[in-house]
Structure 1
């Protein structure tokens, strides 16, 4: 038997890497209520399946139809059986369960009675299930009128399927089509994010029979249309099933007798919203409702190593948590815990599990929440702990674990442990499970189904799952290790804000001023605030757009480092999207934007994007460059980048080399050359060109450039300055970055004139644009020395220190004025300067820049709306 498949998130791409099992037996489950003529075509389509008929059976489950159904079933052959139930309102879920209990197949395929299966439907579904027992295969549903096609044509294989599919539509309404298209794109075809369970539609999906039984089948409390398939999808997801889309596993929904225009479905689904909210704890469906006890809790607390003398107090702390949508599972078998179990037997939120019941592993299996919160019995909690943890996890849908810094409180002092290594060290002193960790239950189930032993469980999960750390110490422990002597009591822990307010209230104005200064210092160093009376701590390194609402755009780019180019790109993007809130700290964003800069294939940016990602945000790439594999190699997962780019609603790249690299990776999605985003900036008014003036923008690269030597480039630039000044031209040195000043000083010294013109462009963007506009020609080694020169209508000569410079230059017809830094020659450089300001080139440059600016503005306005 194949092994349970486990991958990151819902990435199913490695499913078929193992040897397949033999062909499974398959049972097709068809719930039906009336409309026997549609059912007749559906059964006829199953008789024409390419899958071996001896491995195929069909169960028709009648939900108390008002017209005879059994005669249609009896006429369909020996491999089709009939079961029925009395009508009690909408009962499709009950009927499907009835059919599944009556089925004998290894694999269950659920198809609606009004959906004709393509001849390869069963084969497509069954093939996936040969590789793993935990797959949920999601088929494709098309829509067509089959009135003119008799059932016999489907049964005999004479039906013209290519023509039928060509005439079929993807969905009944454009809204449905748009939702599914967006959802599949935003989840990288169901491989990413924590909402893939929403893809399950009961008219065409399949699952192994044991997996269906293990999660309990359809919830039969849904007695109106809508939501029962999503709820089942959630339980599959929380059980670590893997959702696999197969768009070639097709059924055609027969629309000729569709029951109404869909209004009744919308009404029923709306009535079911409360049921869905009760049963699916995912934040897409459930918003906090303090005091409400839901059928399925959001969080399952598992109390490991409970201490008899502390358990009552710990439960009080847990019940005081701001986020109270939880259940509490206590692992132990002492008389105190047994008594507590008897006392709380009527409370569905409290459960005790003994070592004989499986201990912590048994508690995980019995947990029902979307997240499991491990908690050691000796811990003490800040009341904001779980609320903060959940908000962090909701804001990082691709993360799977949230940790908190720990503090060891004693009278008058607190020691904080907040780095990942320190947190792990404290955990190691307390046993095989963490003192505190919030983890997605799905990740724990992956480990358990993989056969990981209890003592290795936490290490297996934490090594594979992205972790977030709350820098404020919201969890207290009495000692660094369980082996040390425990205090009789220890004071409750306090949060950062409480400690700050306490310190501000002590003493007079001078003490308050010192406290404020101390707080500002800790914030600047990204460390949690520690009370003045405390010992030093280990340092911490830590929707839909409504009418009239401004679009919130989370900007991923390099900012706040005194780099003119990065700040100019961000300013330009703000300029073309004036009605949007854009920034690197925007909360609850509608859009995730990979901004300007050379960010694709550059180390950390893919991980940064994933931390902010969610199936509920749109994704765009706006003027970004791709780091050249020729120069850098492949620094990140190319498949990861292709997945992200495929999920974007818009991909606009800086230049033609970036586009060529993207296509060489095999990316076939839509993309265009948008130009560098800073081209949206314009020439300042009233600036006259100073004839004979040349502005030079060097770059200090720490020898990371073609040729590997900043010194060699410096020598050529020194000679260029001397030659230009001898010819009577005015030279201004221009710094895009503070690090460039070291080169500028060397050029000044070599020229013998420390008073040569100098503009620190990184200090004042407006002054920088004015200086670039006043120059007759710009010689730029820094990329954005060239970009901003083009933006203000000044021709430039580009020194290609890395391929990104030529990528941009080629986009604005200036590649003939570009020379690599390992090919520099002072005479050749002087020739390029002389030819750069020709009238023909200047007009071609202006035309190209204006075209990109118009495109940036047009796309910016579109994206903000």
Structure 2
């Protein structure tokens, strides 16, 4: 079977699966447009879905990636679905999720669409497509204007939409609803740092191998300074590179299957002094327990989140990442670690309150 036939067959299976999920949904369900879960070992996708379930009690979420056109509005009305929830993650500006939202609007005419805090894909370095092409973001504008309010992850997302004529408001990343309150101020350094790396599409650093080499060299530098290093994967597709780098450094690795719950995520990320992370929701997870992060900005969404919690200065673009630059930033962050933890606690608390306010509004809208 050729690649194109396999892709078509996979899409047909997806449509059939989504058809069953929607047609068998219980009364009062809302459609969730976002990455496919459960059964997905992408911690960020799972955390975002769980956060929306947590934020919208008594409203079952029937999650689909792309709603199939096989279902007619009559079937949906008989099931009495409440409306659509545009999930978290960098969805706005993504063609795949735009098609999912367009299908939801077609199937649920005159039903509300709400969100709690969605990221905007920056055309300067989008997840897919040609850097600098803003046509996809423009295609989202009519959809966003159909929403009573648009909540976004961070200030960069807000500014992108405001430039396009959408008065978006910053709430934050919904995963921050899982932030801890207790025992975060008293965090003496234990001499252990976490490192997260992964595979990705478009990124500022065009040669991923160069980034890996830089991070390996950085890991050796940290070990020479007497620090322990642990590799942390938040997606099973990143497990091979995680295991490979851990083997080069002779250090332990936490693979994606070990981070299947919110509690495990909190424990692993609270047990380190700081995190150097490429994947966004490794950084978000660390913020939930006030662990400072150096975000390796492979796309603008990483800086968007860091700015949202007052730690934008601890961001290093992947195209500028060297072992020396990372080591220098690590030394500076250790010196300012106590103040950075305090900033994270204050800012995450504010963001969590804003996300909760967005959730209350969404809940009222979906309940009519």
Compute the TM-score of the two structures, normalised by the length of structure 2: 0.80
Residues in 1 aligned to 2:82 and 2:100: alpha-carbon distance in whole angstroms: 17
1:705 to 203, 206, 223: 203
Q: Is the 8 A contact 2:119 2:154 kept in 1?
A: yes
Equivalent residue number for residue 855 of structure 1: 354
Q: Is the 8 A contact 1:606 1:636 kept in 2?
A: no
Residues in 2 aligned to 1:646 and 1:718: alpha-carbon distance in whole angstroms: 46
Task: Considering fraction of residues, name the structure with more helix.
Answer: 2
Residues in 2 aligned to 1:723 and 1:562: alpha-carbon distance in whole angstroms: 31
Residues in 1 aligned to 2:62 and 2:229: alpha-carbon distance in whole angstroms: 37
Aligned-pair CA distance for 1:625:
0.9
1:784 to 271, 281, 284: 281
For structure 2, the residue ranges without an aligned partner over 5 or more in a row are: 1-5, 21-25, 65-75, 127-131
Aligned-pair CA distance for 1:828:
1.6
Task: Considering fraction of residues, name the structure with more strand.
Answer: 1
Equivalent residue number for residue 723 of structure 1: 221
Q: Is the 8 A contact 1:601 1:634 kept in 2?
A: no
Equivalent residue number for residue 69 of structure 2: none
Q: Is the 8 A contact 1:554 1:583 kept in 2?
A: yes
Aligned-pair CA distance for 1:526:
6.1
Equivalent residue number for residue 125 of structure 2: 631
Equivalent residue number for residue 826 of structure 1: 323
2:63 to 584, 589, 593: 584
2:345 to 846, 852, 857: 846
Aligned-pair CA distance for 1:583:
2.9
Aligned-pair CA distance for 1:717:
1.0
1:609 to 101, 117, 127: 101
Residue-by-residue CA offset, 1:440-474 (whole Å, 9 max, x unaligned): xxxxxxxxxxxxxxxxxxxxxxxxxxxxx9x8xxx
Aligned-pair CA distance for 1:693:
1.4
Residues in 2 aligned to 1:725 and 1:706: alpha-carbon distance in whole angstroms: 27
Larger of the two Rg values belongs to structure: 1
Q: Is the 8 A contact 2:89 2:119 kept in 1?
A: yes
Residues in 2 aligned to 1:748 and 1:846: alpha-carbon distance in whole angstroms: 30
Tell me, what secondary structure is at the counterpart of 2:195?
Answer: strand
1:594 to 75, 86, 105: 86
What pairs with 1:295-694 in structure 2 (closer than 5 Å)? 552-560=29-37, 561-584=40-63, 588-613=80-105, 614-632=108-126, 633-634=132-133, 637-667=136-166, 670-683=167-180, 691-694=190-193
Tell me, what secondary structure is at the counterpart of 2:118?
Answer: strand
Equivalent residue number for residue 253 of structure 2: 758
Residues in 1 aligned to 2:210 and 2:14: alpha-carbon distance in whole angstroms: 39
Tell me, what secondary structure is at the counterpart of 1:798?
Answer: strand
Residue-by-residue CA offset, 1:603-651 (whole Å, 9 max, x unaligned): 2111111111133311113211111111134475444311111110121
Equivalent residue number for residue 305 of structure 1: none
Residues in 1 aligned to 2:86 and 2:14: alpha-carbon distance in whole angstroms: 25
Residue-by-residue CA offset, 1:756-794 (whole Å, 9 max, x unaligned): 222124541231221011111011100111111111111
For structure 1, the residue ranges without an aligned partner over 5 or more in a row are: 1-418, 423-468, 472-524, 529-540, 543-548
Q: Is the 8 A contact 1:598 1:624 kept in 2?
A: yes
Equivalent residue number for residue 92 of structure 1: none
Residue-by-residue CA offset, 1:194-231 (whole Å, 9 max, x unaligned): xxxxxxxxxxxxxxxxxxxxxxxxxxxxxxxxxxxxxx
Equivalent residue number for residue 68 of structure 2: none
Tell me, what secondary structure is at the counterpart of 2:32?
Answer: strand
Compute the TM-score of the two structures, normalised by the length of structure 1: 0.35
Instruction: State the aligned residue count.
Output: 322
Q: Is the 8 A contact 1:760 1:768 kept in 2?
A: no
Which structure is higher in RCO with an 8 Å CA cutoff and minimum separation 6? 2
Distance change in 2, residues 1:723/1:672 (3 Å): same
Distance change in 2, residues 1:769/1:559 (3 Å): farther
Residue-by-residue CA offset, 1:175-195 (whole Å, 9 max, x unaligned): xxxxxxxxxxxxxxxxxxxxx
Equivalent residue number for residue 738 of structure 1: 236
Residues in 1 aligned to 2:306 and 2:27: alpha-carbon distance in whole angstroms: 35
Note the aligned Cα RMSD (angstroms): 2.9
